[in-house]
Amino acid sequence: MALMVRPGFRPPRHFLPPVHLHLYSFGITIGTPTLSLPVLLGIDLRDLIPPPQELCYWFTGKDPEIQAAFWSFREHERIYRAFILKLQDRVMSLPPGVPRAWAVLVNCKVGVHRSVAFVRRLHDELRAWPMVTVEKTHLWFWRAVDLRGRRWERERGLD
């Protein structure tokens, strides 16, 4: 994927130690995370169109099938581009002396498809930013997958 850094993007001079962004994806129905890092920016993806239901039963946001289905909607791409520009502005406007590590929150309803696909793409692109380190965590991912699997079994009378 192409690097989406705004033309002329240069980190401010006070970026001597790199800014560390920790990306968190989670499902709001499971809970809101308590983090030790300050939150730089967050986005709620619950209103975005989910991938087709038949894909959601077999795949997660870590799978290319869900990623392709999620990013096939123009609205998702537009929201992503607006979010990354807003994130870039926030990073560039960090004043000297503030914490160097920040959380970026991405939530959807369950935390298995939309938020995971969004965070994976965001992580891949942010790794190319100068003087920014990045890591990702999918909070409660396996818990959500387990709950979804139990619901799937219950709906089909397999429990």
pLDDT in tens, 112-138: 788 989 999 999 999 998 888 999 988
Q: What pLDDT does residue 31 have?
A: 77
102 has which bridge partners? Answer: 21
pLDDT in tens, 21-59: 999 998 887 778 888 899 999 999 999 998 888 887 788
27 has which bridge partners? Answer: 108
User: Residue 74 contacts by C-beta under 8 Å, 6 or more apart in sequence?
Assistant: none
pLDDT in tens, 69-102: 999 999 999 999 999 999 999 988 888 777 789 9
